[in-house]
């Protein structure tokens, strides 16, 4: 069972979350579409409404939810190197495609390297992104629910930025998609904060298939 320490978020916590999950933080998230490029090329996401529904499905039922559970597990294990290594090993085995695995591990490793500016992280090396961020947030004492909300927001915002470039959506439409996702992001963060690894599970098969198909796209601008 996950043990969640209830704490108030401080100004220091807030500014660190804003920095660590900013699009400017040097992890290279802008280079990954999470399979969205394949879906958009196939014409399945023609507008803002379809884009919002796709991202919502990932957050509630797909990789967004899985990442949130792994994040919470890593946050809880931040002070236990053996338990944290176990979470990291599981996370590395879960991605359903080669590119999705490269995305998760590449982002995680880059995050840990950049996060050393705040001191040695509790784990190092090729670590899946949600585990890396969750562990660093846990070690920093950032409240779990707030950290999860920020993490899920960054996940959704990065996918919206892909859609803005490829659908294409206008900037105003992209912001509206993020605004509409707010209740789901907060609800999913609260659900994940009370989760354990027993709650792992996803049902977003179209996204997983799109990620696999992306490996063979003839023309593409994203790594995944």
The CA distance from 52 to 185, in Å, is: 12
Give SS3 for 112: helix
CATH architecture label of 47-211: Orthogonal Bundle (1.10)
pLDDT higher for 91 or 5?
A: 91
Over residues 125-146, mean pLDDT: 97
pLDDT above 90 for 65:
yes
* pLDDT at 4 (0 to 100): 43
pLDDT tens, position by position, 197-216? 999 998 888 888 888 888 77
Give SS3 for 65: helix
The CA distance from 192 to 168, in Å, is: 32
Model confidence band, residue 96 (pLDDT cutoffs 50, 70, 90): confident
The CA distance from 64 to 73, in Å, is: 14
Half-sphere exposure (CA, 13 Å, Cβ side) for 85? 3
Task: Tell if the pTM clears 0.85, that is, is over it.
Answer: yes
């Amino acid at each position: 069972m996950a043990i969640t320490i209830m704490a108030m978020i401080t100004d220091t916590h807030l500014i660190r979350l804003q920095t660590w999950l900013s699009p400017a933080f040097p992890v290279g998230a802008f280079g990954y579409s999470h399979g969205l490029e394949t879906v958009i090329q196939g014409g399945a996401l023609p507008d803002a409404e379809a884009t919002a529904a796709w991202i919502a499905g990932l957050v509630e039922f797909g990789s967004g939810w899985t990442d949130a559970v792994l994040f919470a597990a890593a946050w809880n294990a931040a002070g236990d190197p053996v338990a944290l290594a176990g979470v990291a090993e599981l996370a590395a085995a879960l991605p359903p495609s080669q590119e999705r695995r490269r995305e998760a591990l590449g982002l995680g490793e880059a995050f840990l390297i950049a996060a050393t500016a705040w001191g040695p992280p509790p784990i190092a090396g090729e670590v899946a992104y949600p585990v890396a961020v969750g562990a660093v947030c846990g070690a920093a004492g950032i409240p779990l629910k707030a950290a999860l909300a920020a993490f899920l927001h960054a996940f959704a915002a990065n996918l919206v930025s892909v859609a803005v470039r490829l659908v294409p959506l206008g900037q105003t439409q992209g912001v509206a998609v993020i605004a509409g996702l707010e209740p789901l992001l907060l609800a999913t963060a609260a659900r994940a904060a009370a989760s354990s690894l027993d709650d792992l599970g996803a049902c977003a098969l179209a996204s997983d298939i799109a990620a696999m198909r992306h490996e063979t796209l003839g023309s593409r601008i994203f790594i995944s």
